[in-house]
Amino acid sequence: MQDILHLVDLTEEATLAYLGFARDFSARLVALGINPADITDEQAYMDDNGGLVVYVDLPDGHGRLEFTVPPSDWAWHNRN
């Protein structure tokens, strides 16, 4: 799966929703003993329904966090 996050733009609403999601999970990760500095940068892929799945893989086998941006809230960068 190829990371496409650097190739897309999010709406302001999607960006704010993602930032809220990340903030809420930060406290939970600390409670699990996961240092936020140990989490890799976000990556993304397009799902079968056209949504953009933004994710991070957590260290030490704690799984993956995913946030899906609806198709109407993201677009490819203008490639001109």
Question: pLDDT tens for residues 14-67?
Answer: 999 999 998 888 888 888 888 888 888 999 999 999 999 999 998 888 889 999
Nearest in space to 57 (alpha carbons), one of 73, 40, 76: 40
pTM over 0.75: yes
Which residues touch 42 (CB under 8 Å, ≥6 apart)?
A: 5, 54, 55, 56
Q: Which two tokens stand for residue 6?
A: 């650097």
Domain borders along the chain are 5-74
